Amino acid sequence: MDLRLAGVTDTRVLSALETVPREVFVSDPFQEHAYDNRALPIECGQTISQPLVVGLMTQYLELGLRDKVLEIGTGSGYQAAILSRVARRVYTVERHRPLLDRAEARFRQIGLSNVVTRHGDGMKGWPAQAPFTRILVTAAARQIPESLTDQLDDGGVMVLPVGDENKQWVMRVRRKSHRLATERLLAVRFVPLLGGLGESERGANGASF
């Protein structure tokens, strides 16, 4: 698929999609499909999102080189790797420890130095590092989480899917002083945003149209 024709027009986002090796983030049984425009299974019952969704959601953030980004749901690490090429620093939180360990190894493999990781409850964000100029959520919330908008800097932008298993939309949220302005951008289907830690320790990542 030509991502430009599909709506990804930001040249820096396109460059990131072209230079980050997606096959590094795809599980071995699906290597031959690494560059297909579709979501693929990864460990812990999660998925790596299709390239078009990754590109559009990254573009919706309106990133600049000085932006400090919080990502909720590290998953395979692919989305964080894309963000790292168009932002100053990426802070990413994952509730499944096995996923985070693999993502960290992949970041080292491709030499990323501006991604900071944390194993934790993504619903709580990362208060110690707040505020963030940009926040990206890679799982569907029933409603926009106040715990995350509270960590958004004035003038900041958050992009996330909102809805239930029947209907979800990617929403863009802009903070203007104490007010939040929202807009609906894209119909999608994501796994649900969950609180707490993964099952092995007692959201997640992946989407398609």
**Cβ of 68: how many Cβ atoms within 10 Å?**
18
As given in the structure block, the two tokens for residue 189 are 């289907």
- pLDDT score, position 203: 40
Average pLDDT, the chain: 93
- pLDDT score, position 178: 87
pTM of the model: 0.92
Interval 51-65 mean pLDDT? 97
Domains of the chain: 11-208 (3.40.50.150)
Q: For the ranges 91-105, 146-160, 181-195, which has the lowest average pLDDT? A: 181-195
Residues classed as catalytic:
49
% of the chain at pLDDT higher than 70:
94
130 has a pLDDT exceeding 60:
yes
Closest CA to 190 of 203, 175, 176, 177: 203
- pLDDT score, position 204: 42
CA distance 81 to 22: 10
- pLDDT score, position 111: 97
Q: Give the confidence band of 1 by pLDDT, cuts at 50, 70, 90.
A: low
